Amino acid sequence: MAVGESQVGSGSEPAEKEVEARTGWRNTLKKIKRDTTARWGLYVIGFVLAVTAFTLVDSNLSRFTFGAISDFALAEALPVLEHPERLPAPGEAETNQPPMFHADGSLSNPLGTDPNGRDYFTRIVYGAQVSVSVGIAATFLGLVGGTAVGAIAGYYGGWIDDMLMRAIETVYAIPPLILIIVFTVFVSGGSPDVRFAIIGVGIAFIPVFARIIRSEVLSVREMDYIEAARAAGVKDRNIILRHIIPNSFAPVLVYATLQIGVTILIVAGLSFLGFGAQPPTPDWGEMLNTSHGYMHSNVWLSIWPGLAIMITIMGFNLFGDGLQDALDPRIND
Amino acid sequence: MTVSSPLGSEMSGEDIAYGDSLVEVDGLKKYFNQDSGLLSGVSFDPNQFPPIDVGQQRVKAVDDVSFEIRRGETLGLVGESGCGKSTLGRTILRLLEPTDGTINFKGDDLATLSGEELRQKRSEIQMIFQDPQSSLDPRMRVGQIIEEPMRAHDMLDDEGREERAKELLEKVGLDPHHYNRHPHAFSGGQRQRVNLARALSVNPDFIVCDEPVSALDVSIQAQVLNTMEKLQEEFGLTYLFIAHDLSVIRHISDRVAVMYLGNIVELADKEELFENPQHPYTEALLESIPVPDPRKGEARGVLEGEVPSPINPPSGCRFRTRCPRLIAPDEYEWTDEKWDQTRAFMRAVKRRTFEPMTDEELRVEFFGGTLPQGEPGEIVEEAIDLIATDHASDELEQTQDEWDEARELLLDSFARQSICATEEPAYEIEPEYGTDAHFAACHLHR
Amino acid sequence: MSSEPLLRVENLKTQFFTDAGTVRAVDGISFEVHEGEIVGLVGESGAGKSVASMSLLRLVESPGEIVGGEITYRGETLFGLEEGPDGELRERDDMLSNEEMRTRIRGNEIAVIFQDPMETLNPVFTVGGQLREFIELNRDLSGKEARKEAIEMLREVGIPDPEERYEEYPHQFSGGMRQRVLIAMALACEPNLIIADEPTTALDVTVEGQIIDLVDELQEKYDTSFVWVTHDMGVVAEICDRVNVMYLGEIIEQAPVDELFHDTKHPYTEALLNSMPRPDRTVGELEPIEGVMPEAISPPSGCRFHPRCPDAREVCQRVHPENKEVARADGYPHNAACVKHDVFDVGYDESVPLDKEPQMTASTPSAGDDGE
């Protein structure tokens, strides 16, 4: 080929390696693996997710895992079972056992039991299911909604942008708690449910995600390859899906990871206030709520769910920080 | 659309003979609104009633431009930054909505085509961008990038597209094995080749090239330019080649259009334009380019001042505010020398390039001691009166006002009376080189 | 050659220490700048010309470091190394301290003009204010005097209506006007040497012409010397008295400007000139230089240009040519680093021409074959 004459291989292997290490998700993963902080975050998240997965796969799995637990305690601990008759009378907290390292503790209930005599360890493990999945679901809702709104507003600009962003600002002005109360009251007819917490928190997050992605889209939109795609006759929908979103997604992804921790906290707070998961479903927030009445008799009841929340959030935050560094093109090797 | 593989050089525009007009732009305008948003354009002006103004200031980036591009030729479009050449290129492709005018491409008016029709038309007109860095999506592979236009126009099946993409890679001088690479693994010159391959993938007739080599080093520039020429010949392409570099334009173009402040000021055959420029702006441009030959020398900044704002461009000829050959107003009698002096004095006052001096000093400095005869002389005297230090009061404020007054007086009496300010120029000149029409927007040819 | 040069650079080496290896950005260059002359430092991107110019003022930033050579300015050592008692290289005692460099040399004796004036001027302060502050700091003038001086300087560099524009912010200036402000700033302390790093590259051609005019005028008036860094052979021809052509960290040709263009001694310079489209005449076919400049991290053996050189012979792979005097012109040497000249006497004539590698791109698996 005649054009080929202008090309001479000139042994620039190092350049290639250097260049290779600059973009792409694969490279991001590589960087995360090298980052100790992010790696620990990843371990924690992996652990929490694994625990959640266990409880989803088989609600009786703990039978095999914790053979030492008495059948009774296990049955008591399972979320689906309700034992109102075993609720202790106020002031009488005899049925709750302290953790195993306590003088009165026993190996069969490693973290003790709650005032109903349900194994606390099992409840913490099952609590992850609600807390983590609600946290992720609500964040995901916000992420998807926000990305759609932000990408459309940013790409089209003009009056579409104006309308969407004004609407978003209106939502932004409403506190999530009010949104959830409104849902609870008008949609479910007054009975609180964890689903409304998810939707409420999710909607409340849309504006933040939308703003982040919009600002990113505004700069990506100016790139020549967007214009090139338009000049080539690519449909708007495909430009948004193939070019705009993949190239403006990194910052929201980081934000979402950090946000999952916050969401777990918010949902726990809502449960604590009685708007989230309802007893007897175990949820860390709900458990904090129930246990705060026993602060004096058994402080461990508050410590365990608090610790669980803290560790999970820490995991997401560490990972989020690492992801941010890994996605930052300025931080390179 | 039917495209037989492999790379057919068969044209979908074969109904137009080489040398006949492929693209005809007529009266094209592109105005930009200054700002956008719900309340944009609403401004507060306390000096009028009601004190709210909803009129928008509009940037006249491209203002009433007409020309044609012939099939198989390269039309060079040259101008300095901000002259509107890129905007013009994008408006022709309808990447920007034209404010007014028509763009006739093979019988269709691109300016009025609606969404889907226009989208389908895009397979016949393509674009190559300046920045090899940002014109390729960093997250895509080179193969995907080249196939994207084909996919958008439902050309071929997956395998056919891959085959064609690989052939194109080879055509533009890249290794087909690079099909699966990301753009960042390529150098600037190679990325520009990928750009070329992408544009060629849908077998277009017409390609707008927006500064395709200005981001490249000299030696790489030559490689890419040669490839572009070769491809043009092989595929029968028509280029609109936008650049600020006159050397590149001279090398690649058949005809050249020179743009200044949203207007085309001169358009002629390449040889004619470079050897026999007829617009003072073109002359100034040509004189300013540093020639890579120390014996040629003296390429110098012959232009004074700066490009005026495209929001309120000068009336008549847009170049008149900087033109070294502004025509003397007809109503006075001038000798050439006196008009030159007056013009220099007028511009110096306008731009305040000299320090205040006395009446006598001014006369000597600008007029060699003798003012022009008759009425113009009286006007000049009045202006000197206003700004001379021995006439003006000492207070700074007042001096400022007097300067403004002197400036307005001179501009009103001379610059704005000139035919350059009152009429828009458009003349056709007998060419010295070749036979093509030579268009020059300058009243010197009246 | 006239008396003692203003600036003498000998065997300067600047390297960047990266994870991928040591980048020898500047690899042993020597040149001189005499009183009142404009010396060009020209090359394509990646040639090391900017690093070289920044090394002169010891402004190389980490991971870069000047690792060898000597820079002498009017008898003072801006940079110099000697071997210590333990055999390690250490800085010489007479080398100026960082403090001295900052207070005495930079700005006062040697000033810099950068390519992008927007990055040099602070956007939140007025242009006049910044110029005034600079003058106040460096010339020991009172605020009022400095202001007067600043306005004078603005007028001097051709900024219309300087009293008014003194109060304006950088973004209200056009690119050309901002470059004029930087020139004013560089001239403010009447330095003897100005390093201009691609000062006209970002400008339009007519504005570039204006700036070159201005520099010419000012240079005549103040007799300032310039080191003019550029990639544009046109600008070189226009403004420089003597030229150093750089390729891959080395100066490969050194000559007075007329000799460089009309009696070219190095094949790279020759090829560069042939690959350029010309504004003054129509060139039929451009002759591009084949391939790309290799990375400075792993330069080719022998002559660094040999893989792309049309005149390359077997000996070029083995022998690394020093920059040697191959001719004389106007009392200045014309140096070239190419073994085809007789002074090298390494058997070029007998050597067999290199078989060009097949230049099909299909055979080049490596990336970056034709780029920066």
Q: What pLDDT sits at residue C245?
A: 95
Of A4, A6, A15, Cβ closest to residue C367: A15
C124 touches chain A (CB under 8 A): no
Nearest C-alpha in C relative to B188: C371
Distance CA A88, CA A113 (A): 13
What's the average model confidence in pLDDT over A166-175?
Answer: 87
Q: What is the pLDDT of residues A210-265, one digit of tens each?
A: 999 999 999 888 888 999 999 988 998 999 998 998 888 888 888 888 888 788 77
Answer whether A16 sits within 8 Å of C20, measured CB to CB: no
Confidence band for C1, pLDDT divided at 50, 70 and 90: very low
Q: Which of B119, B206, B202 is CA-nearest to residue B161?
A: B202
Mutate to test the interface with C, among B219, B246, B256 (most CBs of C within 10 A): B219
Answer whether C290 sits within 8 Å of A12, measured CB to CB: no
> How many helices (DSSP H) and strands (DSSP E) are in chain C?
12, 14
Tell me the two tokens of residue C273.
């000139």
Residues from chain A that touch B170, judged by Cβ atoms under 8 A, are 1, 4
Tell me the two tokens of residue B439.
């268009």
Q: For chain A, what is the mean pLDDT?
A: 72
Would residue A306 count as lying in a domain?
Answer: yes
Containing structural domain, residue A318: 34-76+105-327
* pTM assigned to the model: 0.81
Q: What pLDDT sits at residue A21?
A: 38
C334 has pLDDT over 70:
yes
Question: What residue type is assigned to position A304 of the chain?
Answer: W
Q: For chain C, what is the mean pLDDT?
A: 85
Q: What pLDDT sits at residue B276?
A: 92
A228 to chain C, closest Cα gap in Å: 22
C286 to chain A, closest Cα gap in Å: 12
Answer whether A9 sits within 8 Å of C360, measured CB to CB: no
Q: What pLDDT sits at residue C228?
A: 94
What does DSSP say about strands B238-243 and C89-91: parallel, antiparallel, or unpaired?
unpaired
- Domains along chain C? 110-191 (3.40.50.300), 267-357 (no CATH)
A2 touches chain C (CB under 8 A): no
> What are the pLDDT tens digits along chain B (446 aa)?
444 444 444 444 457 788 788 999 999 999 988 665 555 555 565 666 656 655 567 888 999 999 999 999 999 999 988 889 999 999 999 999 999 999 999 888 999 988 889 998 999 999 999 888 889 988 888 999 999 999 999 888 999 999 999 999 998 888 888 898 888 888 888 899 999 999 999 999 999 999 999 888 888 889 899 999 999 999 999 999 999 999 999 999 999 999 999 999 999 999 999 999 999 999 999 888 888 888 876 656 678 777 888 888 898 899 998 888 888 888 887 888 888 888 888 888 888 777 778 888 888 888 888 888 888 888 888 888 888 777 655 555 556 778 888 888 888 888 888 889 888 888 988 888 888 889 999 998 87
Q: Is B233 helix (H, G, I), strand (E, B) or coil?
A: helix
3-state secondary structure chain A: CCHHHHCCCCCCHHHHHHHHCCCCHHHHHHHHHHCHHHHHHHHHHHHHHHHHHHHHHCCCCHHHHCCCCCHHHHHHHCCCCCCHHHCCCCCCCCCCCCCCCCCCCCCCCCCCECCCCCEHHHHHHHHHHHHHHHHHHHHHHHHHHHHHHHHHHHHHCHHHHHHHHHHHHHHHCCCHHHHHHHHHHHCCCCCCCHHHHHHHHHHHHHHHHHHHHHHHHHHHHCCHHHHHHHHHCCCHHHHHHHHHHHHHHHHHHHHHHHHHHHHHHHHHHHHHHCCCCCCCCCCHHHHHHHHHHHCCCCCHHHHHHHHHHHHHHHHHHHHHHHHHHHHCCCCCC
C173 to chain A, closest Cα gap in Å: 24
Of A7, A18, A333, Cβ closest to residue C369: A7
Answer whether C357 sits within 8 Å of A9, measured CB to CB: yes
Confidence band for A26, pLDDT divided at 50, 70 and 90: low
Q: What pLDDT sits at residue A80?
A: 36
| Dihedral sign of CA atoms B370, B376, B379, B380 in order | negative
Q: What pLDDT sits at residue B1?
A: 41
| In chain B, residues 151-180 whose CB comes closer than 8 Å to chain A | 152-153, 170-174
Tell me the two tokens of residue C3.
């008396």
A7 to chain C, closest Cα gap in Å: 5
State how far the alpha carbon of A227 is from the alpha carbons of B93, B139, B193, B242, C184, in Å: 11, 16, 17, 17, 40
- Judge residue C220's burial from the number of C-beta atoms within 10 Å of its C-beta, 0-12 exposed, 13-18 middle, 19 or more buried: exposed
Is the CB of residue C107 less than 8 Å from the CB of residue C191? yes
Answer whether C211 sits within 8 Å of B286, measured CB to CB: no
Name residues whose C-beta falls within 8 Å of residue C289's C-beta, 6 or more positions apart in sequence: B219, B222, C268, C271, C272, C275, C308
Residues from chain B that touch C37, judged by Cβ atoms under 8 A, are none
Confidence band for A50, pLDDT divided at 50, 70 and 90: confident
B429: β partners: B438
Q: What is the pLDDT of residues C194-232, one digit of tens each?
A: 999 988 887 888 888 888 888 888 888 888 999 999 999
What's the average model confidence in pLDDT over A104-121?
Answer: 68
Q: Which of A87, A62, A98, A92 is CA-nearest to residue A303?
A: A98
Q: What pLDDT sits at residue B299?
A: 57
Nearest C-alpha in C relative to A5: C359
Stronger pLDDT, A115 or B369, i.e. the higher one: B369
A17 to chain C, closest Cα gap in Å: 9
Distance CA A27, CA B121 (A): 39
Poorest-pLDDT segment among A171-180, B103-112, B243-252, C53-62: A171-180
Specify the number of domains making up chain A. 1
B209 touches chain A (CB under 8 A): no
Number of inter-chain CB pairs under 8 A, A vs C? 79
Is the CB of residue B282 less than 8 Å from the CB of residue B266? yes
Distance CA B353, CA C56 (A): 36
A15 touches chain C (CB under 8 A): yes
A91 has pLDDT over 70:
no
C362 has pLDDT over 80:
no
Chains that touch C (3 or more CB pairs under 8 A): A, B
The hierarchical CATH code for the domain B21-32+55-253 is 3.40.50.300
Is the CB of residue A283 less than 8 Å from the CB of residue A277? yes
Question: ω before C63 within 30° of 0 (cis)?
Answer: yes
Q: What is the pLDDT of residues C146-184, one digit of tens each?
A: 898 898 888 888 888 888 888 998 888 888 888 889 888
CATH code where residue A185 lies = 1.10.3720.10
Calculate the CA A181 to chain-centre distance.
Answer: 22
Of C295, C307, C359, Cβ closest to residue A7: C359
What does DSSP say about strands C250-256 and C64-73: parallel, antiparallel, or unpaired?
unpaired
A74 has pLDDT over 50:
no
B116 to chain C, closest Cα gap in Å: 38
